[in-house]
Chains A and B, each alone.
Chain A
Amino acid sequence: MRIVSDLISYCYHMGAMDCHLDMRIRNDVAVYFINAPVPKMTQEDADKLRETLNTPRQREVEQNYWELSGESETDPELALVGMMVDEAMVDLTEGILTIVAKRYGK
C-alpha cells in the first residue's frame, strides 16, 4: 500500500488531478498499474523515473527504511520505491503517464 501511496503522490506532484490505479496480487507477485494525465511532467522526468524505479532491489535497505515510504510530503523522488520493486515500465505519451511496477515476494 505504501508503494501505491508514493506513486500516487508522485503523479500529484506532476499535476495529476485524475489517477487510475489497478493492483493485482497473484502467486507472490504484486503488480501495480497506474495511469494518469500529468501536465507538469517532461520526458526527462519520465526517463529519470524509469531509471529510479528500475533500481536493483535492495532488500537490506528496504528492511531498514520501508517505514519511510508512503510519507513523501516534500520529496517527490521515488528512490525507496525503486529499491522496493523488482521491475518497472514507465511510459509518457501525450501527457499521459503509465507505470507498471512489479514486486516479488520473499
Chain B
Amino acid sequence: MKTEIKRHFYMPYLVMMVIYAVFLVVAFALDSPREILEGLSRIIRSRSVLVTDYIEVGGIGAALVNSVMVGCSSIFLMVRSGIKPNGAIMMAVWLSTGFAFFGKNIFNMLPITFGVWLFSKYHKEPFMNYALASLLSATLSPVVSELAFNKSIGLTLGVLWGFLLGVFVGFIFPTISSSAVKAHSGYCLYNMGFAGGLIATVVMSVMKSVGIEVESESIWCQSYNFEMAVMLYAISIFLIITGVVLSEDRRSIPKNLRRMLGQSGRLVTDFYFIYKESVYINMGVLCILSTTAILVLGGDLSGATIGGIFTVVGFGSFGKHVRNVLPLMVGAVASTYFNRWDPVSPANTLAILFSTGLAPIAGEFGWIWGIVAGFVHVNLATHVGSFNSGMNLYNNGFAGGLVAMMLVPLILTFRREKDSEI
C-alpha cells in the first residue's frame, strides 16, 4: 500500500509556534537586532561541544532566536514530510528547541539531517519513516562544528570535513539507534543519546588517532535566572491552560491524569495518543517541577538547564510524569552530595534533570529502584562525557543507557526468583 503524504499544520505545532512567538518577543525586548545578529554569528561559529551555553556565547536574544530557528525548521521538516504529531514527535520538537540553547544550531544540524535523508533514499523508503531519527540525530551536532571550527584544520577544510562527517554520522545513525534500544530494553527514554554516545566515542577515538585534539567546554551562563524563571513558569501555565482549553472532554482530564500516573512510561508509551490534550497539563506540571527543583537547589537557569527542562517537558508526552521522575530526581540530588563537585555545578545540575530519562525504571519497578537509578546515573553522567570529549549532546542518554543496561537485568533477576516465568 503506497503511503500518502498529507500535509497539515496540526495543533501541537501551533502550540509550539505560540511559544516561539513569546521567545521572539523576549529576545527583541532584551537585545537589539544588531546584538542578536552578532550573537547568532558567534553561536554558529562556536565549537558547540558540551557544555557550550549559547546564552553566554551569543547573548540571551541570539540564543532565543536560535532556538526559534531550530524549532521552526524542525516543525517545517515534520509538516513537509506529512508527519501527524504523536508523543514521540512532540518530544523530539521540544528536545530540538531545548538543545538549541546549548549545542544545536542551523549550521550543525543540516549535514546530519541530510545524512538521514540519504539513508532513507538508499533504503528506498519515505523520509517520513526516519523523521524522528532526523530530529534526534542532532545529538551529534558538535561533530560538525568541532571539525568546522577546529583551529588545527583551517576553516575551509574544516567546514568540508565537518559537513562530510556530519552526513556520514547521519547516514549511520538510524541503524545504530534502532539497534541500541535492545541494549536497555526501552528503560532509557534517551535512546538516541545512548546511540549518539556510542557513535561519538568511535568518532572521537578516530579523531584522536589522527592527531585532532578535542577538548570539552564549560561555558555556562549565570546571568538570567529571574528572566528565565519567569519565562519557564509562564510556559508551564500556558501548557496547563492549553491542556484544559483544548481538551474535548474536560471531565475526563482528572481520570486521564490518574491513568497516566499509573503507567510505567517504558518505551514506547505514547501519552499524546492515549490521553490526547491532557498531556499538556502533564507537561506543564513537569515544567513547574523541574524549574522549581533547580531554583530550590540553588542552581542556575542557564541555556543548558533550559535544554534539560525542555527535555523533561517534551517527554511529558512520551513517558514521563511526576510519579516516575520524582524518585530519579531524589536519587540524583542525593548523589550530588556524595561526589566531589558542588551539588549545583553544571555537570550535577544537568545530571539531576536528565536522570529522569530513566523514569521507566521507577515506573515499572517502584520508587526505591528509581532512587537507586538516579543515584547511579549522576556518577556515570559526570564521567562518560570524557569518552567523547562532549561531542554527544545527549550525554545523559549515553549514561542512562549504561545504567539501564546494568540495573534492569539485576532487577529482573530478583523478580524472576519470585515469579515463575516460561
Contact = CB atoms under 8 A, between A and B. Distances in A.
A63 B412 contact: no
Interface residues of A, number: 27
A61 B88 contact: yes
Contacts of B84: 56
B64 interface: no
Interface in B175-191: 177-179, 181-182, 185-186, 191
B273 interface: yes
A60 B88 contact: yes
Contacts, number: 82
B422 interface: yes
A80 B268 contact: yes
Interface string A61-78: 111111110010111000
Given A28-B1, A74-B364, A60 B132 contact: yes
Interface in A63-105: 63-68, 71, 73-75, 79-80, 83, 86, 104-105
Nearest to B263: A77
B302 to A, nearest CB: 30
A58 B95 CA distance: 20
B270 A79 contact: yes
A73 B364 contact: no
B370 to A, nearest CB: 15
Interface of B: 1, 3, 83-84, 86, 88-89, 124-126, 128-133, 174, 177-179, 181-182, 185-186, 191, 264, 266-270, 273, 364, 412, 415, 421-422
18 contacts: A55-B273, A58-B88, A59-B129, A61-B268, A62-B129, A63-B174, A64-B178, A64-B191, A65-B181, A65-B186, A66-B178, A68-B268, A73-B185, A73-B421, A74-B364, A79-B268, A80-B268, A106-B124
10 smallest CB-CB distances across A and B, nearest first, come from A104-B1, A60-B132, A59-B129, A60-B131, A67-B182, A63-B129, A68-B186, A65-B268, A80-B268, A61-B88
